[in-house]
């Protein structure tokens, strides 16, 4: 990884911002939205589409639509221009998410790194949301990679 | 071929290819459920004004399409982790193809790692990814 991308020193940004919590939100998991989500994706496993199933639960990536209130922490340095592009998501399903449950999400910056290729240097900023249920159990982690041109 | 238990899984196995329904009605239903109703996803003309060839399938929907494919391949499995990279646009109302292959297995954890691809109608790679699939027994 390069020490700096443009005018921003990536090593310094990493040291200051990785792991810092910057947003907190609550989400109520809606049964009808769970079913509609899974059905629209062609899901045929009844655990995800039949609310009478004994193990009825949200599709594993259901939490990807739960957005944090902020993209970046307050005073986070400007890296590159604009919003950047969506580089993809990683979802870790720790426990089933049930209809009606209230999830509490905490958002952090999980990683910052750069890569240089034919089109120049790109900076990857990974925003992490961790979702816990009412008991405090971690049920889902979503890492969202945002890619910005340095 | 469906796999009913971890013992059925072999390194190098291919998941059966699928052509998911990415019609406007399905994408609109997904976006409504996700509270993600943006014009670029649900309106071809609006998407063209944004520079796309047509309306595009949301990245988070493509991830769930892959999950549904895995659930059909291995009924009753639990996908513990899925990582997808959005490489290019998948167009609404087009024919896309999903494929997958087993690239690693863990006898102790009874999990399989699966590489995943969604290919656009014109042959471009739209989404690549990996998933960790856990078997019950």
**Cα A80 from chain centre:** 21
Mutation for testing the B interface, residue in A33, A35, A39, A91 having most B CBs under 10 Å: A91
User: Is the CB of residue B78 less than 8 Å away from at least one CB of chain A?
Assistant: yes
As given in the structure block, the two tokens for residue A131 are 């979702």
Domains of chain B: 6-21+58-134 (3.10.129.10)
As given in the structure block, the two tokens for residue A13 are 């940004």
User: Is the CB of residue B75 less than 8 Å away from at least one CB of chain A?
Assistant: yes
Look up the pTM and report it.
0.94
**Interface contact B61-A41, CB threshold 8 A:** yes
Q: At what angle do helices B24-33 and A31-40 cross, to 10 degrees?
A: 150
**Interface contact A37-B33, CB threshold 8 A:** yes
- Higher per-residue pLDDT: A118 or A102: A102
**Interface contact B68-A90, CB threshold 8 A:** no
Give the residue carrying structure tokens 């998933």.
B131
Residues A39-86 have pLDDT tens digits of 999 999 999 999 999 999 999 999 999 988 888 899 998 887 766 788
Q: Domain map of chain A by residue range?
A: 10-30+68-149
As given in the structure block, the two tokens for residue A116 are 């240089």
Give the residue carrying structure tokens 């059966």.
B16
As given in the structure block, the two tokens for residue A81 are 């221009």
CATH class of domain segment(s) A10-30+68-149? alpha beta
For B82, counting Cβ atoms within 10 Å of its Cβ (0-12 exposed, 13-18 middle, 19+ buried), the class is buried
pLDDT at residue number A1: 46
Task: Return the ∠ at Cα B22 (arms to B20 and B25), rounded to 5°.
Answer: 130
* pLDDT (tens place) for every residue of chain B, 137 residues total: 788 799 999 999 999 999 999 999 999 999 999 999 999 999 999 999 999 999 999 999 999 999 999 999 999 999 999 999 999 999 999 999 999 999 999 999 999 999 999 999 999 999 999 999 999 86
B29 contacts in A (CB within 8 Å)? Answer: 36, 39-40
Longest alpha-carbon distance in chain B: 52
User: Is the CB of residue B83 less than 8 Å away from at least one CB of chain A?
Assistant: yes
ipTM comes to 0.96
């Amino acid at each position: 990884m390069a020490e700096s991308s443009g005018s921003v020193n990536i090593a310094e940004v990493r040291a200051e911002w990785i792991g810092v919590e910057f947003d907190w939100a609550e989400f109520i998991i809606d049964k009808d939205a769970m079913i509609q989500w899974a059905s629209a994706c062609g899901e045929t496993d009844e655990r995800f589409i039949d609310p009478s199933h004994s193990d009825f639960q949200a599709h594993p990536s259901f939490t990807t639509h739960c957005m944090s209130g902020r993209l970046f922490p307050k005073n986070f340095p400007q890296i590159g221009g604009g919003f950047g592009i969506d580089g993809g998501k990683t979802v870790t399903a720790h426990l089933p998410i049930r209809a009606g449950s209230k999830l509490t999400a905490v958002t952090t910056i999980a990683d910052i790194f750069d890569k240089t290729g034919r089109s120049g240097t790109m900076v990857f900023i990974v925003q992490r949301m961790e979702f816990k249920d009412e008991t405090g159990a971690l049920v889902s982690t979503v890492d969202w990679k945002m890619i910005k041109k340095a | 071929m469906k796999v009913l238990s971890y013992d059925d899984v072999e390194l190098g196995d291919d998941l059966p290819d699928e052509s998911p329904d990415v019609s406007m009605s399905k994408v609109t239903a997904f976006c409504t459920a996700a509270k993600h109703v943006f014009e670029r996803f649900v309106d071809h003309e609006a998407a063209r004004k944004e520079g796309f060839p047509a309306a595009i399938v949301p990245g988070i929907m493509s991830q769930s399409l892959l999950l549904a494919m895995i659930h059909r391949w291995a009924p009753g499995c639990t996908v513990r982790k899925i990582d997808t990279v959005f490489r290019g646009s998948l167009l609404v109302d087009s024919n896309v193809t999903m494929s997958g292959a087993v690239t690693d297995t863990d006898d102790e954890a009874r999990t399989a790692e699966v590489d995943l691809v969604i290919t656009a109608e014109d042959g471009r790679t739209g989404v690549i990814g990996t998933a960790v699939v856990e078997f019950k027994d």
